[in-house]
Chains A and B, each alone.
Chain A
Amino acid sequence: MKTKINITLKIIFFVLILGFLLYASTIVLRRKDSLYKYADFFKLAKEDQIDVLFLGSSHVINAVNPAVLYDEYGYTSYNMGGHGSLLQATYWELMESLEYTTPKWVVVDAYMIEKDYRYLDDRDANPDDNEVNTSIEQLHLNMDVWPLNKTKIAAVKDLILDKDIQREFLVDFSVYHNRWEYITEDDFKSVVGSESRNELFGAEMRYDVETAPPICAAPEKGETLENQTVGEEYLAAIIEECKKRNINVLVTYLPFAPETKDIVAATSAGQIAKSCGVPYLNMLNDDVIDIYKDLNDHGHLNAVGASKVTCTIGEWLSKNSKLEDHRNDSNYAYWEELSSKYVDSLEDIALNESNLFTKLNILSLGDYGVILYCNNGSQVFTDKPLKHVISAISDSKSINMTMGPYIMIYDPASAKVYEASGTATLDGIPTAMGELNYQPVEQKFRRLYTSDDEETNYLYSDEHADEDIQLIIYDKETGEVLKQDYFTSKGGKYDN
């Protein structure tokens, strides 16, 4: 009897150790994208600090920046958007998140509302194999982080048809055990919860500038989707679920370079919102963004576009909700910290980015004083997209009417822009740097100096005499020159 008890105890102990080791392996080997995105969600939901949830696809991920929303309005929010998320995936994202928090507002984007297949892996309904595979892969971002419970099982069964693929989501170790060759220090940190995390509250910012967005034909006015789609059903279900829980809902259609079908879908989303009695912001119709500089690619916004969209939603919420401004509340120090970090990251890009488009676009946000000089004959004057970005900063068309030389002084402190081209000079321009004076002299020589120090010429350097574009960035308050960059326009590459 004693031997039997001994053996039984040994078996139990062995199984427990094995179980622990397998569990630890699951955590270490699991792909961290999902945990990276949602780690702060769990932390902040536990502290009941999330007032707004943003739901939708990658359009939401790239277009809504909770750090900006907090910085500008003091509203706390989390970006729950999922790459490639159809509205049924968004519905289950909501259901999962509501197990941890009850926000005051849910903002749901209706992109892809026209999709009319229920299961993401239904290859009969969606014959595009790549799209199906991508949808399944991207669903891991939404699903992996949620613990295995009734909601997750229901979600997976509702989203996936194939039993083997369902198992991939319910027992994700079967997929991730082969990550052994890719594990890093961060994978081990996740065992004790100190892994790196998304510091934009679920959002991801992109910084490229799409210079040639496609422009589609407009549909018939008021044209809507012909039949009710699965996407529409789930949008209605999301609204219904929120109403049931007394959560306010705002439906949006975030801006990008749409196809005709997207404009039709956006109109249909408006109808659903109307029939459910919830407000709707169709940003395809409004001039929220500048389509020629605020897109990262034709479908997604860059950080400047995101900033504009976030502020538009923030403005709407300030007018239509009673959300509390948490700035200056010490309990929300973490929000303050991450928002500041984002502002610092923009500073880093503004000062150190080597891509002229990206750099100018970030500078258009008005956080720095900018002096841009383009020499006579520079390819800038034939580059329409770049001239558009410069025009957006100067808020004038002067750049379009010259072949150089051209200078623009943008002084945010005084909210003024000064431009000169050809042989024109600028005299005694009041800026944070002091009174500036500009004189074009010859092809490779020009002068820019302050009235107090005529010896220092900001626009000439022997080392950079051949570079035709010069950018001076100064602190908008103190006037301290933070960075001087030189670019060559040859070949349209703008190398520095």
Chain B
Amino acid sequence: MSFISFAFMIFLPIAVAINFLVPKKFRYIWLFVVSMAFYYTAGIGAMVLLLISIASVYESGIMMGRNKSKSKLILICSLVFNIGILFVSKYLNFVLGMVGSIAYGESDAMRLNLILPLGLSFYILKSVGYLIDVYRGDIEPEKNIIKLALFVSFFPQILAGPIERAGNMIKQFENPVPLDFDRFRNGLFQMLWGYFLKLVIAERLAIYVDSVLSAETGTVGAVSFMAIMFYTFQIYADFAGYSHISIGVSRILGIDVMKNFESPYLARSIAEFWRRWHISLSSWFRDYLYIPLGGNRKGEVRRYINVLIVFTVSGIWHGAGFNFLVWGLLHGIYQVIGRILTPMRDKVAAMFNVGRSSFSHRVIKTVGTFILVSYAWVFFRADSMTQALTLIKRSIAFTPWKFVDGSLYAFGLNRANFLLASFGIVLMTVVDIFNCSGIVIREKILSQGMWLRWIIILTGILFTVICGMWGPGYNVADFIYKQF
């Protein structure tokens, strides 16, 4: 069940209404029931796999609590089992494809008929995080299987995160907060912003991007450049949209979930970008992979190697394909080169007396980071390496007249829709700039007087419903990150 389906529009009010009526101490049971009902729509097979994974994680946690001496062995076994599920479902065909190509000259020769269950990559990371936390002694093993199962399967997060930590979630199941009107209103408003990002911006930009990528002619220069820029905002609006809906739904249900984005395109370096983009995943890799690998504690060379390993794994986690691998590796290389060039950049800045904290310097750094991130996204989006390289090559051709001669309107978006999409990008950026200054627009609006607040919210709802890309006229794609 997708957040942008009619079924969800019926499912959510029922889940919320009953959650409101259920006594606080039993609320986690209800949330588990609705989470199972939600995930059941992904298919019975996927649900069975989820339950098996939950059972193994629960039992491993209990066993680690009981046998401290064997906890490492138990951890390894449980990690092998759960990561094994992920490997078989997500990567086995990729590996078999490579073997098939080498052995038979055909990548499909050895492929198996495997289906990737929805949200598997996300809930496995949550489970792995829980197991490592128990092993490290950061948290006690959870004795109530329903609470642990709810942590793993909590329906607003199961399909695409945020990848929460057990320590933050389980304590909220044990001590539920009162469900008051402000929480409800705040959650709904955050959901509305999420739907706006997804339906008005991301889906609209997707039309242009898909159209350019599938076009055989007429895309040289500005058209391809705009496709790269639009995809950069599409994936942000898409994933941030999903995350806002997820966090909003959780809040309505009485659960506070960590932020997943913090104005990522205003970052001034790639390292900062990763502290702002998909925060729950970045911090997961930092805590459960980068630091255990030695982090930056074992010298510069080892640090570079660790960075490259983490970003390669991050790339592969996103998808079984060379394009994802290249995308991850590229981000690792960006950071390594950035680190290596730091002394040189410092020298140049000192030589030319560049004020590193000046506004213009900060803007240049932000724009530079944005361009690097945008061009890396090409590998993420493209269906093949060839397509990615072709798009990059086309985008650097000098055709500025195409910005004004109407060429941009020939790829799925007419002038009105193109302008609306651009307006959406501007709005999203303005909200991020405020956010960067510590001003949360949502909270500002909610603190206004009733009439102004209502006018803004009602306008937002109408605008999203009317200008959103949904219904039979559109083939509304699901959230991009759901596929991972």
Say whether A and B bind each other.
yes
Whether B181 pairs with A22 at a CB distance below 8 angstroms is no
Provide the residues of chain B in CB contact with A25, threshold 8 Å. Answer: 462, 465-466
Assess whether A168 is interfacial by the CB under 8 Å rule: yes
Nearest B residue to A10 via CB reads B450
* Residues of B contacting A178 in the complex (Cβ-Cβ under 8 angstroms): 469, 471, 473-474
Which parts of B427-481 form the interface with A (CB within 8 Å)? 450, 454, 458, 461-462, 465-474
B102 at the interface (CB under 8 A from A): no
Given contacts A17-B458, A181-B414, contact A174 B472 (CB under 8 A): yes
Interface: B416 (CB within 8 A)? yes
Interface string of A182-205 (1 = CB under 8 A from B): 000000000000000000000000
Contact A181 B470 (CB under 8 A): no
Most A CB atoms within 10 A — which of B450, B465, B467?
B465
Given known A-B contacts A18-B458, A181-B414, A175 and B471 have beta carbons under 8 A apart: yes
Interface residues of chain A: helix, strand, loop or mixed (majority): helix
List residues of chain A with CB within 8 A of the CB of B462: 21-22, 25
A239 interface residue (CB < 8 Å to B): no
* Given A17-B458, A175-B471, A181-B416, A7 and B181 contact (CB-CB distance below 8 Å): yes
Q: Which 8 A-B pairs have the closest CB atoms?
A: A174-B471, A181-B416, A7-B181, A168-B472, A178-B473, A177-B466, A180-B466, A175-B472
Instruction: Give Cα A10–Cα B449 distance, bound, in whole angstroms.
Output: 13
Q: Are A17 and B454 in contact (CB under 8 A)?
A: yes
Q: Given contacts A25-B465, A164-B472, A168-B472, list 7 more A-B pairs with CB under 8 A.
A: A165-B472, A167-B6, A177-B465, A177-B468, A180-B467, A181-B416, A181-B417
**Residues of A participating in the B interface, judged by any CB pair closer than 8 Å:** 7, 10, 14, 17-18, 21-22, 25, 29, 164-165, 167-168, 173-175, 177-178, 180-181
Smallest Cβ distance from A183 to chain B, in angstroms?
10
Q: Which B residues are CB-close (under 8 A) to A180?
A: 466-467
Measured between beta carbons, the chain A residues less than 8 angstroms from B6 are: 167
A29-B466 contact in complex given A18-B458, A181-B414, A181-B416, C-beta closer than 8 Å: yes
Q: Mark B1-31, 1 if CB is under 8 A from A, else 0.
A: 0000010000000000000000000000000
CA distance A8 to B136 in the complex (A): 48
- Taken together as a complex, chains A and B put the C-alpha atoms of A280 and B465 apart, in Å, by 50
Main SS at interface, chain B? helix
Cβ 8 A contact of A175, one of B414, B450, B454, B473: B473
Docked CA distance A80–B400 (Å):
54
Q: State A14–B451 Cα separation when bound (angstroms).
A: 11
Docked complex Cα distance between A7 and B20 (Å): 15
Give the complex CA separation of A17 and B414 in angstroms.
Answer: 32
Which residue on chain A has the smallest CB distance to residue B415?
Answer: A181
Give A175 to B417 CA distance when docked, in angstroms.
Answer: 17
* Chain A residues whose CB sits within 8 angstroms of the CB of B414 once the complex forms: 181
What is the bound-complex CA distance between A20 and B199, given in angstroms? 22
Given A25-B465, A25-B466, A29-B466, is A177 in contact with B471 using a C-beta cutoff of 8 Å? yes
Q: Give Cα distance in the complex from A181 to B469, angstroms.
A: 13
Chain B residue numbers with a CB within 8 Å of A10 are: 450
Q: In the bound complex, how far is the Cα of B311 from the Cα of A79, in angstroms?
A: 69
What 0/1 pattern do residues 105 to 127 of B give for CB contact below 8 A with A?
00000000000000000000000
CB distance from B451 to the nearest CB of A (A): 11
Give chain A residues whose Cβ lies under 8 Å from the Cβ of B468: 177
Please, which residues of chain A bring their CB within 8 A of the CB of B471? Answer: 168, 173-175, 177-178
User: Contact partner of A18 among B461, B467, B470, CB < 8 A?
Assistant: B461
CB proximity of B475 to chain A, nearest CB, Å: 12
Query: What residue of chain A has the Cβ atom nearest to residue B419's Cβ?
Result: A181
What chain A residues lie within 8 Å of B473 (beta carbons)? Answer: 175, 178
Q: List 8 A-B contacts (CB under 8 A).
A: A7-B181, A22-B465, A25-B466, A29-B466, A174-B471, A177-B465, A178-B469, A181-B414
Q: In the assembly, what is the distance between CA of A173 and CA of B181, in Å?
A: 30
Contacts of A175 in B (CB 8 A): 471-473
Q: Which residues of A contact B454 (CB under 8 A)?
A: 14, 17
Contacts of A168 in B (CB 8 A): 471-472
Residues 150-197 (chain B) with a chain A CB within 8 angstroms: 181
Which of B465, B467, B472 has the largest count of A CB atoms less than 10 A from its CB? B472
Residue from B181, B465, B466, B474 with most neighbouring chain A CB atoms (10 Å) = B466
Q: A164-B472, A177-B471, A178-B474 are in contact. Are A21 and B458 (CB under 8 A)?
A: yes
CB distance from B14 to the nearest CB of A (A): 17
B399-426 residues with Cβ-Cβ distance < 8 A to A are: 414, 416-417
CA–CA, A226 and B460, complex, Å: 59
The residue of chain A having its C-beta at the shortest distance from the C-beta of B450 within the complex is A10
Alpha-carbon separation in the docked complex, A492 to B247 (Å): 71
User: Which B residues, 270 to 318, have Cβ-Cβ distances below 8 Å to chain A?
Assistant: none
Question: Contact mask B373-401 → A, CB, 8 Å, 1/0?
Answer: 00000000000000000000000000000
- Among B416, B467, B468, B473, the most chain A Cβ lie within 10 Å of the Cβ of B473
Residues of B within 8 A of A164 (CB): 472
Q: How far is the CA of A167 from the CA of B10 in the complex (A)?
A: 15
Q: Which residues of B contact A174 (CB under 8 A)?
A: 470-472
B11 to chain A, nearest CB (A): 17
CA distance A381 to B466 in the complex (A): 59
From B420, which residue of chain A is reached at the shortest CB distance? A181
Report the separation of the CA atoms of residues A29 and B469 in the bound assembly, to the nearest whole angstrom.
Answer: 15
**Separation of A173 and B465 alpha carbons in the complex (Å):** 10
Closest Cβ of chain A to B64, distance in Å, is 46
For B417, the chain A residues whose CB sits under 8 A away are 181
Contacts of B450 in A (CB 8 A): 10
Closest CB-CB distance, A182 to chain B, in whole Å? Answer: 9
Q: Which residues of chain A come closer than 8 Å to B469, judged between CB atoms?
A: 178
Which residue of chain B has its CB nearest to the CB of A177? B466
Please report the C-alpha to C-alpha distance between residue A14 and residue B453 in the assembled complex, in whole angstroms.
11
| Cα-based distance from A79 to B85 in the complex (angstroms) | 65
Query: What is the distance, in angstroms, from A464's C-beta to the closest C-beta of chain B?
Result: 42
Q: How far is the CB of B418 from chain A (nearest CB, A)?
A: 11
List the A side residues contacting B474 at CB < 8 Å. 178
Nearest-neighbor residue (CB-CB) of A178 within chain B: B473
Q: How far is the CA of A415 from the CA of B60 in the complex (A)?
A: 105
A7's nearest neighbour on chain B, judged by CB, is B181
Cα A164 to Cα B461 in complex, Å, equals 23
Contacts of B458 in A (CB 8 A): 14, 17-18, 21
Complex CA–CA separation, A152 to B167 (angstroms)? 54
Least Cβ–Cβ distance between B16 and chain A, in angstroms: 13
Q: In angstroms, how far is the closest chain A Cβ from the Cβ of B427?
A: 17
